[in-house]
A and B are shown apart, each in its own frame.
Chain A
Amino acid sequence: MNVAKKLKIDTVLRPEVLVIGAGGAGLRCAAQICECRPGTSIIAVTKVYSPQKSHTSAAQGGMAAVDSKDPVDKIVYHMFDTWKGSDCSADQNIIKKVCESGWEQIVWLERHGMHFSRTEEGRIAKRPFGGHMLNFGRVKAFRACYEADRTGKGIMDTVWGESLKHGVVFLNQSVATELIFKNGRCIGAVVFVEQSGKFVAVLAKATIMATGGKARMYQVTSNCRQNTGDGLAMILQAGLPVMDLDAVQFHPTGIVGPGILASEALRGEGGILRNEDGERFMERYAPTAKDLAPRDLVSRCIMTEIREGRGCVHPDHKLPHVWLDLRHIPEHIHKTRIQEVSGFFRRFVGTDPQKELCPVTPTAHYQMGGAPTNEFGEVQDDARQIVPGLYACGEFAAASLHGYNRLGTNSLLELITMGKVVGDSVAAYIEDTKDPSAIPEDAGGRVFAQFAAYLEAQGKECYAEIRDALRVVMMEKVGVFRNEKGLTEAIEELKELKDRAGRMKLSSKSLVMNQELMQFWELDNLLDISMVIARCALARKESRGAHYREDYPERSPEFQHHTLACMTEYGKVELGKRPIDMSIYKAKGKHHKKFGIIERKY
């Protein structure tokens, strides 16, 4: 029986709004729509089996936000830190919007039940975080609101609860596979429901994409198993551009194995990085700041040690790494201030950090780029015209709050502030928009062809080999260090991998909960996005924020713009530019000079 021929749209659902990706941003947005416009029917699609499992839940640190009534901290300081941190490549209209509305959104979360940690007076507690300073970079600011070490979970539980309360309908364990357009307007998406193995068309007045990050193409990543760039690949397949995809943030100390973060706090408490010979190598690179140098610098130093043969290779996980030495830190600090993170080593690597060295290696953590949007979250095409009916928010979107480098705690802040903004936009948009009439005849055609190809493919290529080769080439050539030679080689290797991926044969042709089928689809998405990252990185002949070119180590005025990229066929990427918004600088306000092209120095 030919399964491929049976692929069809099983059901058509017609909510008013479709949310693709039910994490922090998507559901904050859904909750906002319901508050503005009670009774709006919303369907939210999530790849995990309950929205509560979304990767937002894994975020630890906090959300930076300044109360305008704060006697010490000022919103303008937060705006400055974000601009400086971005290496002058964030959009100032977004910085202003997000920083100004941050506190209001913290209060919203608190009123809807988030369990923030408290001060003695019972108010929301705040703590300092890297890059957040008072008085334009003078002293550290207490600005991050948090829920112990599970701030992301607090946000997720709150927005998920609100969505339930408002009757949002969830399609769990489902993936959006193709956007549906009619006369240039986005009217929904074709969704594959894993559990039933059926395709469903969801037609809606407005579609919001919030599928999060995509770092699974890297050998070591803190991203969850589902972050395979499906949403971005779908945007590219619709002929729309993505922006600044080469801006991938690496955290220097990922724990070998799960790839999760061993927080800077460990080095803050005296942790020392050592190479295979036991040498404290950071002394050579940064004699003053040593192990506490900025994230991107420490990542590069670790990779240099590894590349020059002074790293170790982990016997079980087969990964190159260096050591983090915590053995000299007094027991009471292990037991109090770094208990949780040092516990991660015990739990996931079977290492006692009080007695043994801990294996760490740079880990791909966050995507600063994404689908380009304006300040209302409306997705733009390559000519910067908005695509009617299509919105984006969260890590998936590039508005862009982060430019080429993100400050800690600004990601969670972006989820809730931009989620709310997009909710307001959508609520207004659907008010005087008609329901999409009939489903276009060709809807699903592209994805059916894609799935049919998986089901029918013959060949001896092995999925795991291609996946691993992809992850190695991206880590080594499109990772912490980049140069023309490596990037050019990577592009060739990616083409070859894409070609090989077409010759993988499925073991089971079932559509129901077929993990291998999903992996084939994910691999294609990862390969697509990887190619765009490599192409953008090759074109940006400068170093800025998280993007470091060995052959062009300085920032260059020539690249003072965002990069838009469309992919017409595999490997053929068309690049465009989007100017960086400098509206705070141009407004000539009191502190406007701080928002010019400044040095990123700490």
Chain B
Amino acid sequence: MPQEYDLTLKISRYDPDTRRSWIQDYHLKAGRILRFVDLFRKINDEQDPTLAWRSSCEHGQCGTCGMKINGKPLLTCELLVERAVGLFKTHTFNVEPLTAARVIRDLAVDLENAYERVHFVKPYIIARAATHPDGDEYRISPRTLDAYVEATRCINCFCCATACVTQRNYLGPNAVLANIVRLMDPRETAKEKRLDILYGEQGIPRCRTARACSFVCPKEIDIAHFIALAKEGAFRPEPSSTR
């Protein structure tokens, strides 16, 4: 296993001042466990301070540094050089911004705009159920929580929305998931409103069941599983239920 790799990054650039876009090649040597965010920093430090890219926590918790590497959407803070070489069997990498939103500069996209879709599904409790008579917390059994706890782990990195085969008029897997969380949350009573969003114009009828979302999710959430539950009607109120 080599201790150092000779890499070529072919990075998509865009300059909003001149509206010019181009691909720029950067050649660099990098140790085996540097991460792609470290590579971008190295490029800024040693070759080109103008290359713009976004990151924040840099350990897979915030979902700011999503990009497409050789076509695959992923978090670049988690991609080690060694792993990338193994995964893509190459030392040359195409680095592109996520397609879930328009590009502002280089690799930085307007995720603020992409977030509109998450806002649309109301990522909070719209109307809450009656609280416990003791006046403290709700009683939610671990089993009930287990059914949807995976879905609460989503960090809205928009990797799934980038990988999704439906790119138009669709809320996207992550926003749909945020809606499903509250459909499964016993504290939420506005289920009808949520079902309207779920099955509405921009909802899951647009999903074509390619399962790309589950495949690329950096948090390894099986998003397609939750969407499948929605498709089979699992969140519709049971006819026998009076509540």
A residues at B contact (CB < 8 Å): 48-50, 52-55, 57-58, 67, 106-107, 110-113, 115-124, 148, 150, 153-154, 157-158, 160-162, 164-165, 172-173, 195, 224-226, 257-258, 260, 315-317, 344, 347-350, 463-464, 507-508, 510, 512-516
Contacts and interface: CB of A to CB of B under 8 A. Distances in A.
Q: Max chain A CB contacts within 10 Å: which of B49, B115, B155?
A: B49
B52 A225 contact: no
Contacts of A508: 49-50
Interface residues of B, number: 68
A349 B33 contact: yes
Interface of B is mostly: loop
25 contacts: A49-B54, A50-B115, A50-B156, A53-B56, A53-B57, A115-B152, A117-B142, A118-B140, A122-B138, A124-B137, A157-B152, A158-B124, A161-B123, A161-B125, A224-B56, A224-B58, A257-B35, A258-B35, A507-B48, A510-B16, A513-B105, A515-B49, A515-B50, A515-B51, A516-B49
Contact of B155 (A52, A55, A165): A52
B200 interface: no
Nearest to B188: A113
Given A110-B138, A350-B83, A507 B50 contact: yes
A148 B219 CA distance: 14
Given A150-B153, A153-B155, A315-B3, A58 B61 contact: yes
A225 B56 contact: yes
Interface of B: 3, 15-17, 30-35, 38, 44-46, 48-64, 77-78, 80, 82-83, 104-105, 108, 110-112, 115, 119, 122-125, 128, 131, 136-142, 144-145, 149, 152-153, 155-156, 182, 185, 187-188
Contacts of B55: 225
B138 to A, nearest CB: 7
A48 B136 contact: no
Contact of B57 (A55, A344, A510): A55
B16 A513 contact: yes
A127 to B, nearest CB: 14
B137 to A, nearest CB: 5
Contact of B56 (A48, A107, A344): A48
B17 A224 contact: no
Nearest to B124: A161
B128 A348 contact: no
A165 to B, nearest CB: 5
Given A52-B156, A118-B140, A123-B137, A348 B78 contact: yes
B112 A512 contact: no
Contacts of B17: 510, 512
Nearest to B148: A115
A105 to B, nearest CB: 12
Contacts of A316: 30-34
Contacts of B188: 113
A374 B124 CA distance: 32
A190 B49 CA distance: 26
Contacts of A67: 136
Contacts of B139: 121-123
Nearest to B42: A464
Given A110-B138, A115-B145, A195-B104, 8 more contacts: A49-B54, A49-B64, A57-B155, A117-B142, A150-B61, A512-B17, A512-B104, A515-B53
B141 A118 contact: yes
A512 B105 contact: yes
B65 to A, nearest CB: 9
A172 B112 CA distance: 7
B236 to A, nearest CB: 22
A229 B136 CA distance: 38
A58 B60 CA distance: 9
B59 A115 contact: no
5 pairs of A and B residues whose beta carbons are closest in the complex: A316-B31, A161-B124, A122-B139, A464-B45, A513-B105
Nearest to B186: A122
B140 to A, nearest CB: 5
A46 to B, nearest CB: 10
Contacts of B77: 258
A460 to B, nearest CB: 14
Contact of B52 (A53, A54, A315, A513): A513
Contacts of B187: 111, 113
B182 to A, nearest CB: 8
A148 B153 CA distance: 10
A49 B112 contact: yes
Contacts of B35: 257-258, 348
A313 to B, nearest CB: 12
A111 B156 contact: no
Nearest to A116: B137
Contact of B59 (A165, A173, A258, A315): A258
Nearest to B103: A513
Nearest to A258: B59
Q: Max chain B CB contacts within 10 Å: which of A111, A317, A508?
A: A111
B49 A164 contact: no
A347 B62 contact: no
A50 B60 CA distance: 16
A123 B138 CA distance: 7
Contacts of B182: 113
A107 B132 CA distance: 11
A580 to B, nearest CB: 34
Contact of A50 (B111, B122, B140): B111
B142 to A, nearest CB: 5
A192 B202 CA distance: 35
A122 B141 contact: yes
A348 B33 CA distance: 7
A344 B59 contact: yes
B61 A57 contact: yes
Contacts of A224: 56-58, 62
A257 B139 CA distance: 41
Nearest to B112: A172
A358 to B, nearest CB: 12
A507 B46 CA distance: 13
A138 B73 CA distance: 51
B54 A463 contact: no
A118 B145 contact: yes
A161 to B, nearest CB: 3
A48 B62 contact: yes
Contacts of A226: 56
Contacts of B124: 112-113, 158, 161-162, 164-165
Contact of B78 (A106, A116, A347): A347
A423 B44 CA distance: 41
Contacts of B138: 110-111, 122
Given A50-B156, A153-B155, A260 B59 contact: yes
A342 to B, nearest CB: 14
A154 to B, nearest CB: 8
B62 A58 contact: yes
Contacts of B142: 117-120, 122
Contact of B140 (A57, A122, A154): A122
B62 A53 contact: yes
